[in-house]
Amino acid sequence: MLYANGDCDEALGVLDSALDSTATPDARLALWGMLLDLLRLTGDKERFESLSLMYATEFERSPPAWQDLSTQGGRGGAAKVQTVNLSGQLNNQAAAQFAQLIQIGMRTGALRIDLTRLRGVEGGGADLLLRAVRGLRKAGIKLSLIGASHLAGVLATLVVPGKAEGKQIWLLLLEVLQFTDQHERFEELAVDYAMTFEESPPSWEPPAVEADSPAGGEPPETVMSNVYRLEGEVIGPNTEVLRKITSFAGTRTMVEVDCRHLRRMDFVSAGTLFNVVSQLHGQGRLVVLKGVNSMVGALMQVMGIHQVARIEARS
């Protein structure tokens, strides 16, 4: 559990010693998996490749593929994602602000747009935001809309089924709904749009789930898509990103959590995760933790998370 506390060098030493003193094949396979995963997490490619040959010789199987996990979603990574705030009445006078917004997103590869302080939207402003969101999504930029539900509520008051006016507002509402996971509401509005404008509505294409913040970062308020995502190092007292799993779960009977880019979790966070998952388990829900690395997986076993959730190891 040294790794959970951030002691990578000592953890490597303990794994080396354990391999020297362990003879049981299943135990050795588990230890090897942890050792190779830890080398990927620390970015030690040279030693990984050297030990991979020993792994292949001992188990007569291909070792895990090398992947540098030392910098993916590292601690504080989400805090570097810039947030652009929109407020007041959104109209066509915001063109310069949207040009800057798009430039930031294209330069950094990720962007948050805070919509919580928007009070109204005009057609020209709707067109600017719609073009920005579609353009960033098409370019593969990680985009989070904070307060998407708030904006959807504002826009919903401006559309009238059967009245073919404010087309850009309709389209923006359809776009924003995809960031709130309201598929049923989207489909209802899409039918109204088709009947009102006598043309095919946009398709339901929810964006990829935005990376949740590690400790020290500000977790996005909007959970997108059908998979919740944990990333980086979830440590310390800031466990809001874990507690948000409950709100994400909603009425789902199966709650999938993508842990492929979760590098490390400490005991405090693991305890919080156990409590969150236990509550869902008690409600008859199945929580699936997908792509968990061996080091985090070992901690989850110690904390008993495997008793209340299904843990799928990273390949």
Judged by average pLDDT, the poorest of 28-37, 62-71, 255-264 is 62-71
- Specify the CATH number of the domain 228-313: 3.30.750.24
Mean local confidence (pLDDT), 192-200: 95
Per-residue confidence at 221, pLDDT binned at 50, 70, 90?
very low
Segment 292-312 mean pLDDT: 92
CATH architecture of 78-197: 2-Layer Sandwich (3.30)
Q: What is the per-residue pLDDT for 225?
A: 46
pLDDT tens-digit map of 225-259: 468 888 888 876 556 788 889 988 888 899 999 99
For the chain, give every domain's residue range: 3-59, 78-197, 228-313
Q: Which residues pair with 89 in a beta bridge?
A: 120
Residue 310 has pLDDT above 50, yes or no: yes
> Does 228-313 match 78-197 at the fold level?
yes
pLDDT of residue 231: 84
Going 66 to 212 to 222 to 279, the CA torsion angle's sign is positive
What per-residue confidence (pLDDT) applies to 79?
41
In this predicted structure, the answer to whether residue 27 has a pLDDT above a threshold of 80 is yes
Strand partners, 120: 89
Confidence category of residue 4, pLDDT binned at 50, 70, 90: low
**Gap between the Cα atoms of 113 and 188, Å rounded:** 26
pLDDT tens digits along 171-184: 999 999 998 868 89
Q: Report the pLDDT averaged over residues 35-54.
A: 84
Of 93-97, 108-112, 145-149, 284-288, give the range with the top mean pLDDT. 284-288
The two structure tokens encoding residue 119: 């009070």
The answer to pTM > 0.85 is no
pLDDT tens-place string over residues 87-119: 889 999 888 888 888 888 888 788 889 898 899
pLDDT at residue 49 greater than cutoff 90: no
Residue 211 pLDDT: 36
Average pLDDT of the chain? 83
Going by pLDDT thresholds of 50, 70 and 90, the confidence category of residue 315 is low
Query: Using 50, 70 and 90 to split pLDDT, how confident is the model at 220?
Result: very low
Higher pLDDT, 25 or 193: 193
Q: Is the pLDDT of residue 272 over 80?
A: yes
Task: Give the mean pLDDT of 180-195.
Answer: 91
